[in-house]
Amino acid sequence: MVLLNQFGTDMVACLFMVVMLPIVYIYELGTVLPTIHPAHTIGFYLHIVAATYVLATIFGNLFLILRTDTTTHATGVILPSILKKGWRFCSYCEYNAPPRSFHCHQCNKCILKRDHHCVFTGNCVGYANHRYYLSMIVWICLGTLYSNILNFDYTWEVLGGLTWRSLFSMVLPLVSWLFGVTHAFTFYVALVSSLCVIVFFLMVALVVYHSMLISKGQTVFELNHKIKDYNYGWKANITEALGKNWYLAWINPLIPSPLPGNGIDWPKGIGPEEVKDM
């Protein structure tokens, strides 16, 4: 896949994430951390290492989401000219697409086991990069949790304690700054802190949602259309999405975790009664 297939909403959303992640990183290490651990102490350096690893892992997964080819041509397999059972003809690409593959109008390509189009990466999440997407949102969730823990005492101290003014500044930092309720630095602290809180809860919801889908062997489309044909049991479903080393794959994007299938052939899964017995 090429970097950022669209230059509208996708570009703005992706640039926002790419810019804000380093800003939060610099804020936490340059502004908040020195108030907790003095510079050049063991605690100070441990936090730098931890925060740097989190940031590098997020960007590593983002890069691999962007650079991994998720299209139906990625496997190198010649697609059949005869429409097979369970396949569909794509009138946009003008060839037969395998089961679970759908055309993305943003990417303008058919995507293997298409899950959804992610506006913050400007690319589709599909068979080949599903692992990197889930790992990225997991690490953003952990990173914002880490930031919120660091920020808690410092933010309320800067905002002047738990008052209506501080609450207003946290909920609407830009409005409070424009109306003179807060000064520029207080606005900066409130903006970053409130952003970390919002993103944390958003990421928790996304991690739970996509983990549930993966464990059930479903994509977003299949959930919405109540399709349950590809449930192989929770462990096999996770392996299909995250690879054979799924229990390690989330730790770092460089850890090899080969996928067991080819993204084209999808046998029917086990029935609901068999799932209950597992």
Residues contacting residue 8 through CB under 8 Å, at least 6 positions apart: none
Average pLDDT estimate for 59-66: 96
Are 156 and 50 in contact by the 8 Å Cβ rule? The answer is no
Average pLDDT estimate for 48-77: 93
pLDDT of residue 4: 53
pLDDT of residue 237: 96
pLDDT of residue 111: 94
Per-residue pLDDT of 73-126, as tens digits, reads 887 777 888 888 889 999 998 889 999 999 998 889 999 999 999 999 999 999
Split at pLDDT 50, 70, 90, the class of 157 is confident
Quickly tell me which residue has 């209506």 as its tokens: 164
Residues contacting residue 165 through CB under 8 Å, at least 6 positions apart: 159, 176, 181, 182
Average pLDDT estimate for 32-53: 94
Measured CA to CA, the distance from residue 154 to residue 147 in angstroms comes to: 11
Average pLDDT estimate for 173-195: 84
Measured CA to CA, the distance from residue 189 to residue 194 in angstroms comes to: 8
Question: What is the chain's mean pLDDT, rounded?
Answer: 89
In DSSP notation, 54-93 reads HHHHHHHHHHHHHHS--BTTTT-PPPPSS--TT-EEETTT
Token pair for residue 180? 């003179």
On the question of pLDDT at 277 being above 50, the answer is no
Per-residue pLDDT of 233-250, as tens digits, reads 999 999 999 999 999 999
Q: Which sequence positions are flagged as catalytic? A: 118
pLDDT of residue 116: 95
pLDDT of residue 5: 52
Average pLDDT estimate for 121-133: 95
Per-residue pLDDT of 71-88, as tens digits, reads 988 877 778 888 888 899
Considering the entire predicted model, what is its pTM? 0.90
pLDDT of residue 175: 80
Are 6 and 122 in contact by the 8 Å Cβ rule? The answer is yes
